């Protein structure tokens, strides 16, 4: 499959989620579903969770990852009166970010989650939280003090509520 076709198929699939169309799978179809860095792009995250719950088999596993709005990175940026990372105020320009240009960042995150809000939302959709982990940020190659920042970032993964990204394993 070519990259162009994969992108076109992915966009078509994402439009289904955004337009709240029922995904073309029967109830209790999958043993597991992975939604990596998707939920923050959706107008209606409840639809993703409801459809995921519907298509998962009983005791099926759902793994979800998303950037953490309450990460220490964002808390520090806000404390210094900068824009949180991954939160864009313009479709055309990266403005207000701490110490770097987020010009490569896509301004398409429309929902922002803390670990607490994500866990509460999953519970509202009847998921049982099995495990929560933190994950590191992808740092720019030319970043100043990259080794120090990476070490701190790695340490913070032990505290998912402060880590850059959260990973949640849940069960139907």
For 46-82, the pLDDT digits (tens) are 999 999 999 999 999 999 999 999 999 899 889 999 9
pLDDT at position 100 is: 56
Q: pTM of the predicted model, to two decimals?
A: 0.81
pLDDT at position 23 is: 83
Please tell me what DSSP assigns to residue 40.
G
Per-residue confidence at 12, pLDDT binned at 50, 70, 90? low
pLDDT higher than threshold 90 for residue 146 = no
* Structure confidence by residue, pLDDT tens digits, 83-137: 888 888 877 777 887 765 555 555 678 899 999 999 999 999 999 999 999 998 8
pLDDT at position 9 is: 57
Dihedral sign of CA atoms 26, 27, 28, 34 in order: positive
Give me the long-range contacts of 40-43 (CB less than 8 A, separation at least 24).
40/66, 40/67, 40/86, 40/109, 40/110, 40/111, 40/112, 40/113, 41/14, 41/108, 41/109, 41/110, 41/111, 42/17, 42/18, 42/110, 42/111, 43/18, 43/110, 43/111
**Mean pLDDT along residues 25-50:** 94
Write down the domain spans for the chain.
Answer: 3-171
pLDDT higher than threshold 80 for residue 152 = yes
pLDDT at position 8 is: 57
pLDDT at position 1 is: 40
CATH topology classification for 3-171: Rossmann fold (3.40.50)
């Amino acid at each position: 499959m070519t990259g162009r076709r994969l992108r076109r198929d992915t966009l078509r699939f994402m439009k289904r989620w955004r337009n709240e169309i029922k995904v073309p799978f029967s109830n209790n179809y999958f043993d597991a579903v992975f939604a990596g860095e998707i939920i923050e792009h959706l107008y209606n995250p409840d639809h993703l969770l409801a459809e995921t719950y519907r298509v998962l088999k009983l005791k099926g596993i759902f793994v979800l990852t998303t950037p953490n709005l309450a990460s220490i990175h964002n808390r520090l940026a806000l404390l210094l009166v900068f824009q949180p990372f991954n939160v864009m105020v313009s479709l055309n320009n990266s403005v207000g970010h701490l110490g770097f240009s987020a010009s490569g960042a896509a301004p398409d995150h429309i929902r922002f989650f803390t670990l607490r809000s994500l866990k509460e939302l999953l519970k509202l959709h009847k998921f049982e939280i099995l495990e929560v982990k933190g994950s590191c940020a992808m740092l720019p190659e030319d970043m100043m003090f990259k080794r120090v920042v990476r070490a701190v970032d790695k340490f913070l993964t032990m505290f998912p509520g402060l880590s850059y990204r959260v990973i949640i394993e849940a069960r139907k």
